[in-house]
C-alpha cells in the first residue's frame, strides 16, 4: 500500500471527547469547553472535522454520538470503564476515514489507538505526576509512550519526560465571552471544583486575613461533598463567604470583572488552569501558588503574583492594586486565545502525521 497523501490545508480530523459531559458543557467542564472551541475553530479554518461526543453536544463539526446523552461527570461514574470504552470504540472503528485522530478522552482510548491505521495524538488534560494520578494510569502512559502526546503546559511534561511529546499547546479561551473591566469591585474571588487541592479552604482563610469578602463559584462533585460539608459549608452558613455555585459564561464574566483579584492557592501540578486565563481576560489579577502551570500563565508582578507560602498569599493580595488590569487582558490576548490554540494544534497535527 502506498504512502497516504495529505493536504494540510484541509485535513480530515476526528476529535474524540469523553462521554461524561456534553460538548460544550452547560456548566463546569474545562476539557469539553476546549474541545468545543477546537472543533468549531477547525471547521472555520476549512478542515473536515468529525466530533465523537455525547449526542446532546452542539458543534459546527459533524457530530457522531458515542453515547446518546452525556453520562455524568461524578468521580463514581468515572470509575466504571466499560461505557466509555465502548464509546471510544465507535471512533476507532471509523479510523480509516480520517487523516488523524485527536484524543481528548485520555487513557482508555490509548489501548485502541495502538491498532489505528492513521496517526493518533493525545492531549492530556489532567495531571500525570506521581502521587497525583493512580500508578496504573502512569503505567498505561509508559506502555504507550511512543504514541504521540500534546502537553497543555511545559510543566506537565516534567512528570513523564520520556513520552513522545509532539508539542505544547496552551488552552485558549473565547475573548468575546469575557468583558474587560478596568475598575475592580470590593471582593475576592475563588472559582473551581470544590476540592482540597484546588485551595477552596485556603482562599477563605486568605480573605479572612485581609478582611475582604470572598465569593466562590464552582461545583461540588459527590465524591468531594464530605470535604465541602466539613470544611467549606460552616463558613457559608456563618455568612463570611458567598457560595454562588455554577455560572453560565455571562455570569462568570461579570463575577471575574468585579473582583479585586482571583485567589488561586492550588496544591497540585495543575497542567493548565483555565480560571487564571479567564480571570485575566476580564482584567482581574491572579494571586496563585507556585504549582504546575501557574508560572507559565501568570506573569509574576505583571498580571498577578506567584507565591510559595500562605503568608506570601496574604501579602500579595494586599499589594494587588499595583497590577495594571490592562496588562492582564493583554497577556491573554498574546498567549491564551482560541486562535492561538488552534494554530498550535494544526502545527502539531502536521508534525504527528509527518512522524508516522
CATH of the domain at 286: 3.40.50.2000
Residues 101 and 193 grouped into a single domain: no
Domain contains 125: yes
For residue 227, the model assigns a pLDDT of 93
Contact call for residues 32 and 15 (beta carbons, < 8 A): no
Residues 260 and 304 grouped into a single domain: yes
pLDDT grade, residue 315 (50/70/90)?
very high
Domain contains 7: no
Give how many domains the chain has, as a whole number: 2
Q: What is the dihedral sign for C-alpha 255, 29, 288, 123?
A: negative
pLDDT surpassing 70 at residue 77 = no
Residues 195 and 256 grouped into a single domain: yes
Percent of the chain with pLDDT over 90: 82
Q: What is the dihedral sign for C-alpha 96, 48, 166, 355?
A: positive
Residues 93 and 72 grouped into a single domain: yes
Residues 135 and 221 grouped into a single domain: no
Domain contains 5: no
Residues 28 and 137 grouped into a single domain: yes
Residues 151 and 282 grouped into a single domain: no
Residues 302 and 341 grouped into a single domain: no
Domain contains 37: yes
For residue 3, the model assigns a pLDDT of 52
Residues 19 and 162 grouped into a single domain: yes
Residues 162 and 267 grouped into a single domain: no
DSSP state of 176: G
Q: Residue 66: phi, psi to the nearest 5?
A: -95, -20
pLDDT surpassing 50 at residue 30 = yes
Omega before 24 cis (within 30°)?
yes
Residues 232 and 281 grouped into a single domain: yes
Closest to 21 in 3D by CA, of 73, 61, 98, 67: 73
Closest to 141 in 3D by CA, of 153, 155, 159, 154: 159
For residue 78, the model assigns a pLDDT of 66
pLDDT surpassing 50 at residue 2 = no
Q: Residue 277: phi, psi to the nearest 5?
A: -65, -40
Residues 20 and 158 grouped into a single domain: yes
Domain that holds residue 130: 12-172+337-355
Q: What is the dihedral sign for C-alpha 51, 53, 54, 59?
A: negative
Amino acid at each position: 500500500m502506498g504512502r497516504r497523501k495529505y493536504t494540510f490545508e484541509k485535513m480530515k480530523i476526528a476529535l474524540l471527547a469523553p462521554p461524561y459531559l456534553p460538548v460544550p458543557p452547560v456548566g463546569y467542564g474545562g476539557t469539553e469547553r476546549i474541545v468545543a472551541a477546537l472543533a468549531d475553530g477547525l471547521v472555520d479554518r476549512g478542515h473536515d472535522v468529525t466530533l465523537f461526543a455525547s449526542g446532546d453536544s452542539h458543534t459546527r463539526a459533524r457530530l457522531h454520538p458515542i453515547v446518546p446523552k452525556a453520562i455524568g461527570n461524578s468521580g463514581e461514574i468515572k470509575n466504571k470503564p466499560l461505557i466509555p470504552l465502548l464509546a471510544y470504540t465507535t471512533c476507532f472503528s471509523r479510523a480509516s476515514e480520517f487523516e488523524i485522530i485527536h484524543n481528548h478522552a485520555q487513557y482508555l482510548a490509548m489501548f485502541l489507538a495502538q491498532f489505528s491505521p492513521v496517526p493518533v495524538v493525545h492531549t492530556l488534560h489532567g495531571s500525570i505526576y506521581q502521587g497525583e494520578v493512580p500508578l496504573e494510569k502512569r503505567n498505561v502512559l509508559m506502555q504507550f509512550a511512543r504514541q504521540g502526546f500534546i502537553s497543555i503546559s511545559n510543566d506537565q511534561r516534567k512528570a513523564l519526560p520520556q513520552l513522545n511529546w509532539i508539542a505544547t499547546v496552551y488552552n485558549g479561551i473565547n475573548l468575546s465571552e469575557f468583558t474587560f473591566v478596568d475598575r475592580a469591585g470590593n471582593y475576592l474571588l475563588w472559582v473551581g471544583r470544590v476540592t482540597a487541592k484546588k485551595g477552596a479552604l485556603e482562599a477563605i482563610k486568605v480573605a479572612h486575613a485581609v478582611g475582604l469578602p470572598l465569593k466562590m463559584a464552582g461545583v461540588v462533585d459527590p465524591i468531594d461533598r464530605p470535604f465541602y460539608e466539613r470544611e467549606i459549608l460552616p463558613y457559608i452558613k456563618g455568612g463570611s463567604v458567598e457560595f454562588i455555585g455554577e455560572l453560565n459564561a455571562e455570569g462568570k464574566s461579570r463575577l471575574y470583572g468585579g473582583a479585586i483579584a482571583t485567589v488561586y492557592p492550588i496544591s497540585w501540578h495543575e497542567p493548565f488552569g483555565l480560571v487564571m486565563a479567564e480571570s485575566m481576560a476580564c482584567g482581574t489579577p491572579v494571586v496563585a501558588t507556585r504549582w504546575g502551570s501557574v508560572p507559565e500563565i501568570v506573569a509574576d508582578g505583571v498580571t498577578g503574583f506567584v507565591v510559595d507560602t500562605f503568608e506570601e498569599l496574604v501579602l500579595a493580595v494586599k499589594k494587588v492594586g499595583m497590577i495594571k488590569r490592562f496588562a492582564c487582558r493583554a497577556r491573554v490576548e498574546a498567549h491564551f486565545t482560541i486562535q492561538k490554540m488552534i494554530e498550535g494544534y494544526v502545527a502539531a497535527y502536521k508534525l504527528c502525521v509527518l512522524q508516522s
